[in-house]
Amino acid sequence: MASPKKKLQGLVAATITPMTEHGEINFSVIGQYVDYLVKEQGVKNIFVNGTTGEGLSLSISERRRVAEEWVTKGRNKLDQVVIHVGALSLKESQELAQHAAEIGADGIAVIAPFFLKPWNKVRAEEVLDGIQEKIPTFQGLKFSDTDLLDFAQCVDQNRQRQFAFLFGVDEQLLSALVMGATGAVGRMCCFLSSTYNYLGKKTNQMLEAFERKDFSSALNHQFCIQRFINFVVKLGFGVSQTKAIMTLVSGIPMGPPRLPLQKASREFTDNAEAKLRSLDFLSFNDLKDGNLEACS
């Protein structure tokens, strides 16, 4: 992650890219999406064109236009707009990074090419060693592994550098806060897609409880989030399902995913809605005995 105007802290929603039923980008709802994140979820930082946003299923020209729309619609509303510029081609990543700077994005994030790649495995703490000498604008990292030892070493060995240490495993965020995480970016890894788009309010409640050292309440909030995540993971959860849930919760049409991904089933949406209501993430007026599991 490079060159935000100030240290990135708190929740960062990995944004979904809204689509029409024909698979074209629906730019018309991005302004509404910004307002929903800020007003309904209390999330004022975003991560654009990542996996949740189907960035690698978009053309380079589409990625540019999506970035432009988020920067424009988020101006004076969002704190930070970070554009993901990772690509299979380093040349394309450089072009996308230059474009992000030109349109006034607050920072960029990048994953290395992942098809043709080195065979040696490098731990995150090794990557950070001397990184500011190589990348003077380097500001921090998004850590999306469950290896808390590696994450803790990143924090411990770089305390004086004021890096942003953003944790990317939604269901384990509280553990990472104890280890020194400064914020979180919802992830899309293997099966789990960013929940901060629609569970941002609940996660912010956990962050607030942690800040005031009410660890019992913070743990209850984390457990509540985990109940939902554990439930949908068993159903099969990814970008398609995230789009369906976001449409349900926000009322903003996210549309289907790009091929080769398939649209979430009606059965999944119905089951996810029932679980959200039972956990009091949605109004449970339509659900009998809906408050049996409600989280406080």
- 52-55: long-range contacts at Cβ-Cβ below 8 A with a sequence spacing of 24 or more? 52/14, 52/15, 52/16, 52/186, 52/188, 52/193, 52/194, 52/197, 52/239, 52/242, 53/14, 53/15, 53/16, 53/17, 53/84, 54/17, 54/239, 54/257, 54/258, 54/261, 55/17, 55/84, 55/86
Q: Does the pTM exceed 0.85?
A: yes
C-alpha span between 46 and 285 (Å, rounded): 32
First-to-last alpha carbon distance for the chain, in angstroms, is 35
Which pLDDT value is given to residue 1?
63
Contact 229, 279 (CB under 8 A): no
pLDDT in tens, 30-84: 999 999 999 999 999 999 999 999 999 999 999 999 999 999 999 999 999 999 9
287 or 154: which leads in pLDDT: 154
CA distance 50 to 63: 10
Q: Tell me the per-residue pLDDT of 133-148, one tens digit each, with 9 for 90 and over.
A: 999 999 999 999 999 9
> Rounded CA gap, 246 and 17, in Å?
11
Q: Band of the pLDDT at 282, cuts 50, 70, 90?
A: confident
Residue 285: its pLDDT value, please? Answer: 44
Instruction: Pull the structure tokens for residue 215.
Output: 């660890």
* Token couple for 216: 């019992």
Q: State the average pLDDT for the chain.
A: 91
Radius of gyration of the chain (CA): 19
- In this prediction, residues 232-244 reach a mean pLDDT of 93
Helix (H/G/I), strand (E/B), else coil: 237: coil
